[in-house]
């Protein structure tokens, strides 16, 4: 059986019936009817209705946790000693580094950021293999802030029915007050969001003091307004358009969609034929087929994307599960079993159509492989962090000339040696070599002296190696600190030409 998963919401059950593409006997018995229509399908905005239920409560909990982490994190402190910032999480552009608690990441550590992004990608794909777009429906910033803006909209203007009445209605004093209040609250949230994002790039308490004293820099103010405008536009107006058309993640679903993943699906073998509760009771009394779906449209009304999940898998679905809560509440009122719409794999939907027992295959070769990849990559990143030193030694051989032959027949090679100190304290190093029998000289220094490198600084040295019995050989430069615990090395070559 071929499955076509659409993202533009244009494929409806009615079109499938007219083209003879129904997929089960239950679907073939479904009366031809217009599907439940969302405001988007009639050219208007998506106006989702509020819903109560366990999934909605979980989403509220995640919203509070994620917003709490976002707004509180810049004010967390971390003691790194003298000459170092005390902000736990700080992206310091001025000094070119990222502080994450005890970790300090320099531009030279970019490979760690790349590995972390790769790990995040693997985790996202693993979650997708287990439960589809779960990240999109629960923890994505676009979803979180859109939910927050929708909450404000409901509190000020009322629930879905009242808000639909307000669309195109004449302006009254009450309506103008509602609009002004809603947008004022939206702007306050957006400014708080934009200002908090700036805190991640500078010392948060200091910036707060600057704001309170009216001394905020033009740069900080500009970026705050930019980020605030982005939040206001995306969460207040673009909303589901971001999830459907702007975000690249839905486009990738065609490549990584997994029929064994537990995504939001409609059990059509149970729900069809759709009819009212009264007609269903009459049909069942006569021995005729009747489904549990009463075609109330509650699942469509609460959908923040504005789709009808009963039409089958849809790439635009963010797997938020609000339609599950809506449908379960209707089933409870009708004294029918929950789960007509539920987190279920597409394979189990097919098994249900064939009256076969459902099978849970969350643990399968694909998910095991992805989980192992995540664990392995996380271990590599952890080991890299633990073994990362606070200093770096680099060596560059002079190219012109590669070597100089002295009057006594010996050969001299010159190198540029750079010592980088990533710590917040002065470090002293003694430079040495191994691999060749050569005399080491440091221009401007006595070779036996320790080289001091300032905190967050570097020291560039001109070093020569002179060999009386010259040969081509590999040479290793070593730098050892005063404690003998930090040993740095860099490899190059002595050239006899």
Do 339 and 395 lie in one domain? The reply is: no
How many Cβ atoms sit within 10 Å of the Cβ of residue 142? 19
Residue spans of the chain under pLDDT 70: 1-44
Consecutive H or E run containing 458: strand 458-467
Among the listed residues 269, 316, 259, 388, the one whose alpha carbon sits nearest the alpha carbon of residue 24: 269
How many Cβ atoms sit within 10 Å of the Cβ of residue 451? 16
Do 454 and 323 lie in one domain? The reply is: no
The CATH number assigned to the domain holding 480 equals: 2.60.40.10
Do 356 and 449 lie in one domain? The reply is: no
Consecutive H or E run containing 114: helix 110-131
Do 378 and 446 lie in one domain? The reply is: no
Centroid of chain to Cα 454: 37
Q: Which of 371, 388, 405 is the last residue of a domain?
A: 388
Do 442 and 364 lie in one domain? The reply is: no
Name beta bridge partners: 441. 464
Q: Which of 370, 388, 406 is the last residue of a domain?
A: 388
Do 299 and 346 lie in one domain? The reply is: yes
Domain count, the chain: 2
Do 474 and 374 lie in one domain? The reply is: no
Among the listed residues 157, 178, 150, the one whose alpha carbon sits nearest the alpha carbon of residue 235: 150
What stretches of 257-339 show up as alpha helix (H) in DSSP? Answer: 268-271, 277-285, 298-301, 322-333
Do 54 and 190 lie in one domain? The reply is: yes
Do 307 and 441 lie in one domain? The reply is: no
Among the listed residues 473, 464, 388, 394, the one whose alpha carbon sits nearest the alpha carbon of residue 423: 388
Crossing angle of helices 110-131 and 365-387, rounded to 10°:
160
What pLDDT, on a 0 to 100 scale, did the predictor assign at position 244?
87
Q: Domain limits at 51?
A: 1-388
What pLDDT, on a 0 to 100 scale, did the predictor assign at position 12?
42
Do 310 and 423 lie in one domain? The reply is: no
Q: Which of 388, 412, 443 is the last residue of a domain?
A: 388
Do 397 and 462 lie in one domain? The reply is: yes
What pLDDT, on a 0 to 100 scale, did the predictor assign at position 425?
81
How far is Cα 420 from Cα 390, in angstroms, rounded to an integer?
8
In the 8-state DSSP scheme, what is residue 307? -
């Amino acid at each position: 059986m071929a499955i076509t998963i659409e993202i533009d919401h244009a494929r409806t059950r009615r079109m499938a019936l007219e083209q003879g593409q129904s997929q089960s006997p239950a679907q073939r018995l479904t009366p031809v009817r217009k599907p439940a229509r969302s405001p988007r399908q009639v050219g208007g905005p998506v106006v989702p209705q509020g819903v109560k239920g366990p999934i909605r409560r979980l989403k509220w909990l995640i919203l509070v946790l994620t917003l709490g982490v976002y707004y509180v994190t810049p004010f967390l402190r971390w003691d790194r000693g003298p000459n170092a910032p005390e902000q736990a999480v700080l992206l310091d552009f001025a000094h070119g580094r990222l502080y994450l608690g005890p970790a300090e990441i320099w531009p030279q550590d970019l490979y760690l950021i790349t590995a972390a992004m790769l790990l995040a990608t693997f985790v996202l794909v693993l979650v997708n293999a287990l439960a589809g777009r779960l990240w999109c429906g629960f923890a994505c910033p676009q979803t979180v802030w859109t939910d927050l803006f929708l909450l404000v909209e409901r509190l000020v203007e009322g629930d879905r029915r009242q808000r639909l009445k307000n669309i195109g209605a004449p302006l009254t004093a009450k309506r103008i007050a509602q609009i002004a209040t809603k947008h004022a609250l939206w702007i306050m949230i957006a400014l708080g969001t934009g200002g908090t994002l700036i805190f991640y790039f500078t010392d948060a308490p200091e910036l707060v003091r600057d704001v309170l004293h009216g001394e905020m820099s033009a740069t900080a103010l500009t970026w705050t307004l930019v980020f605030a405008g982005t939040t206001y536009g995306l969460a207040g107006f673009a909303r589901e358009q971001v999830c459907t058309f702007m975000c690249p993640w839905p486009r990738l679903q065609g490549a990584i969609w997994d029929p064994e993943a537990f995504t939001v699906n409609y059990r059509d073998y149970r729900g069809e034929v759709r009819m009212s509760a009264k007609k269903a009771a009459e049909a069942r009394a006569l021995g005729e087929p009747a489904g549990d779906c009463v075609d109330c449209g509650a699942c469509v009304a609460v959908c923040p994307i504005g789709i009808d999940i009963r039409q089958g898998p849809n790439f635009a679905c963010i797997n938020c599960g609000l339609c599950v809560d809506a449908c379960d509440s209707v089933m409870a009122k009708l004294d029918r079993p929950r789960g007509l719409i539920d987190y279920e794999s597409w394979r189990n939907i097919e098994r249900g159509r064939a009256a076969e027992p459902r099978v849970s295959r969350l643990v399968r070769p694909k998910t095991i492989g992805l989980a192992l990849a995540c664990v392995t990559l996380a271990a590599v990143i952890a080991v890299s962090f633990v073994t990362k030193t606070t200093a770096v030694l680099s060596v560059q051989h002079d190219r012109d000339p590669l070597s100089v032959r002295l009057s006594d027949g010996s050969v001299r090679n010159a190198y540029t040696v750079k010592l980088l100190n990533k710590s917040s304290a002065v470090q002293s190093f003694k430079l040495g070599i191994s691999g060749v029998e050569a005399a080491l000289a440091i221009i401007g220094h006595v070779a036996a002296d320790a080289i001091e490198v300032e905190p967050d600084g570097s020291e560039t040295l001109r070093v020569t190696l002179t060999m009386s019995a010259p040969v081509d050989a590999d040479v290793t430069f070593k730098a050892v600190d005063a404690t003998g615990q930090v040993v740095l090395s860099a490899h190059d070559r002595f050239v006899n030409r």
